[in-house]
Amino acid sequence: MKNIFFFDTLITPKLLVVLYWLSIISIVISAATTIFLGQALAGIFGLVFGILAVRVGFELIMIAFKNNEYLKRIAENLPETK
């Protein structure tokens, strides 16, 4: 509990995983609906490009959190200066 209240660990990366999967599920449902409504080509393109766009977007967000993690590791290994 202490980690959450004092921002020692970040919960946003964990939430991003859940949001990513919810986005993928909604894209699949939307694409399936579009295909069943008679627009197969639009549904397939929407599925492919939608999944690709969501993946790239979430990866760009995760890069910021990974950079923070790596900088934290580097700072922990540096000797303290006075």
Whether the Cβ atoms of residue 35 and residue 54 lie closer than 8 Å to each other: no
In single-letter form, the type of residue at position 20 comes to: Y
Cα separation, 78 vs 59, whole angstroms: 28
pLDDT in tens, 6-41: 777 778 888 999 999 999 999 999 999 999 999 999
Q: How far apart are CA 49 and CA 57, in angstroms?
A: 12
Distance CA 76, CA 81 (A): 12
| Ranges of each domain in the chain | 15-77
- pTM of this prediction? 0.77
Cα–Cα distance measured from residue 42 to residue 31, given in angstroms and rounded to the nearest whole number: 8
pLDDT one-digit tens code per residue, 52-71: 999 999 999 999 888 988 88
